[in-house]
Amino acid sequence: MIRGRQPRTLFDKVWEAHLIPVQDGGDQNLLWIDRHFVHEGSFHAFGKIRDRGAKVARPDLTFGIADHYVPTRGRRDGIADVAIRRMVEQLEENTRANDVYLFGLNDPRQGIVHVVGPEQGLTLPGLTVVCGDSHTSTHGAFGAIAFGIGASEVAHVLMTQTLWQRKPKRMRVVVEGATAPGVGAKDIALSIIARIGSDGAQGHAIEYAGSTIRALSMEGRLTLCNLSIECGARCGMVAPDATTFDYLRGRPFAPSGAAFERAVEDWLALPSDPDAVFDHEVTLSGSEIVPIVTWGTSPSDALPITEHIPGPAGTSDPAKASHIREALDYMGLQPGQKLSDVRIDRVFIGSCTNSRIEDLRAAAAVLAGRTARVPGLVSPGSSQVKQQAEAEGLDRIFKTAGLEWGDSGCSMCVGINGDVVPPGERCASTTNRNFKGRQGPGARTHLMSPAMVAAAAVNGHLTDVRILMEGRL
């Protein structure tokens, strides 16, 4: 540390390393961007730079990934829907015209951008990472500043490899203590969101800290940081440590050999200084976290599976009461109903939140030797995750249980590739948003961990996975 310098947070250190010194920004800073991921939805931005007669300034730092519109079934036969096919083709054309590296539909490394970036070693500690997708916060799991941006900003990064940003405040979320068996990163994340609310971290960069977080695998940290946006945070971060370095060593796009060791030296200096000050602190006890599900239409409408559905009468805040009324009406639920009595019509395991190998293993551990009472789709987060899961025999467990084993993509999380939950149906889902109509018009979504989705599949209603795991843990 430079003598006399104020103690700094992880966020401050990464932020300051990316500041381009300019005078006239006012409350906005000009930031250098290390990695820019583009996908099918980036067509507006490519159109904007084309209109200006410009090309991508730094194709070497820009990576295209087909994920939002790709089919999860029969992709070798091409895409039947013309409008959807056009979205994938446009990405191919735009990346080719700008010399941008593409993980296209049939690339053996294709997958969801927030799964592939880390998996390929493109995401590293200390980087700034942006993408026209709000769940870009995922990449913060490595100690990177990673956040979602809109099309105008995507165009700005394509043309300049920089971005104007106001420095967010810093929030530290500390979770201490061992979690109980059956409790995963998703339960930790939903507990945090339920605590601070869906806009509780607006304008803030979150750093997740404490022994519970340190004990998480990279997969778990990715799930946790992924959901940062659901409490409104600009980004979420975990300080890099041995878990991070072990994950990265040998990844294709990561530095290798001496270059890697040199990088680790720099990365070891990134964690927050011991006396660094945060604008807000939130503390949770890991041992008190239990399997959790959402009942409403906001990710903050989350409760332990052992609870009952709340009603508008339980709050004196008129806005909150009206939200509960609206949410229950849409979800077709009654106040006071036991959460574990809520019957479901289907399940979905996938999305940038919970589709990594560890997620699939957790779901398979519950489903092994059992049959699902409802139909469902399992979509691995990348083609590499799919390959690994098949090598471990997980695909057979899902198929034997009666679930469909698909290809990777955003799939039923956002429903724009054609994988939708039919109107009025209730889906237990490992995804990130239970917004009205998110999984398709009229679809009713309950968010939970992969193990909890598997438990719901086995019983046909929301279920405390701990009961099904007795004797299996």
As measured in angstroms, the least distance from the Cβ of 169 to another protein is 12
Distances from the Cα of 87 to the Cα of 71, 74, 81, 184, 387, angstroms: 12, 17, 10, 35, 26
What is the residue whose two structure tokens read 């395991």? 349
- Exposure of 411 in the CB half-sphere (CA atoms within 13 A): 31
Which of residues 9, 72, 138, 162 is near another protein by CB under 8 A?
162
Q: Does 196 bind another protein (CB under 8 A)?
A: no
Residues in CB range of 26: below 8 A, 6 or more apart: none
CA nearest neighbour of 69 among 423, 462, 414, 453: 414
Nearest approach in angstroms of CB 60 to another protein is 7
Task: Identify whether the C-beta of residue 294 lies closer than 8 Å to the C-beta of residue 452.
Answer: no
Among positions 321-340, residues that touch another protein (CB under 8 A) are: 322-323, 326
- Name which position in 202, 283, 334, 387 contacts another protein (CB under 8 A): 202
Assess 86 for contact with another protein (CB under 8 A). yes
Task: Select the residue interacting with another protein from 38, 66, 79, 87 (CB under 8 A).
Answer: 87
Q: Applying CB under 8 A, which part among 83-91, 275-283, 363-371, 464-472 lies near another protein?
A: 83-91
> Do 101 and 122 meet the contact criterion of CB atoms below 8 Å apart?
no
Please pick, from the candidates 71, 118, 126, 271, the single residue that binds another protein as defined by CB under 8 A: 126
| Pair type for strands 162-165 and 29-32 | antiparallel
Name residue 130's amino acid: V
Please answer whether residues 293 and 447 qualify as being in contact, where contact means their C-beta atoms are separated by less than 8 angstroms: yes
Applying CB under 8 A, among 217, 243, 256, 337 the residue interacting with another protein is: 256
Separation of first and last alpha carbons in the chain: 45
| φ, ψ (nearest 5 deg) of residue 14 | -70, -40
Residue 298 beta carbon to another protein: minimum distance, rounded to whole angstroms: 5
Strands 292-294 and 302-304: antiparallel
Residue 168 and residue 411: Cα distance in Å, rounded? 32
Q: How far apart are CA 452 and CA 441, in angstroms?
A: 24
Q: Candidates 126-134, 169-177, 283-291, 304-312: pick the segment binding another protein (CB under 8 A).
A: 126-134
| Region near another protein per CB under 8 A, out of 29-37, 211-219, 363-371, 450-458 | 29-37
Site for another protein contains 259 (CB under 8 A): yes
* 189 contacts another protein (rule: CB under 8 A): no
For residue 201, the minimal CB distance to another protein (Å) is 9
Q: Which of 4, 21, 53, 369 binds another protein (CB under 8 A)?
A: 21
Instruction: Determine phi and psi for 63, rounding to 5 degrees.
Output: -135, 130
Place of tokens 């109107």: 423
Can residue 167 be called a binding residue for another protein (CB under 8 A)? no
- In the bound complex, what is the minimum distance in angstroms from residue 130's beta carbon to another protein? 10
Instruction: Name which position in 12, 73, 89, 134 contacts another protein (CB under 8 A).
Output: 134
CA atoms 127, 224, 301, 41: torsion sign: positive
Out of 50, 55, 73, 109, the residue judged to bind another protein by CB under 8 A? 109
Report the nearest approach of another protein to the CB of residue 27 (Å).
5
Q: 348 to 407, contacts with another protein by CB under 8 A?
A: none
Contact segment (CB under 8 A) with another protein among 70-78, 127-135, 275-283, 333-341 equals 127-135
Identify which of residues 106 and 211 has a Cβ nearer to another protein in the complex: 106
Q: Which is nearer to another protein, 198 or 285 (CB)?
A: 198
Count of chain residues binding another protein (CB under 8 A): 83
Position 155 contacts another protein (CB under 8 A): yes
Q: CB of 127 within 8 A of CB of 34?
A: yes
The answer to whether 350 touches 454, Cβ cutoff 8 Å, is: no
Of 212-220, 226-234, 338-346, 450-458, which part binds another protein (CB under 8 A)? 226-234
Tell me: does residue 226 bind another protein (CB under 8 A): no
Mark 266-305 with x for binding to another protein (rule: CB under 8 A) and - for no binding.
Answer: x-------------------------------x-------
In this chain, which stretch among 212-220, 355-363, 431-439, 461-469 interacts with another protein, using CB under 8 A? Answer: 431-439
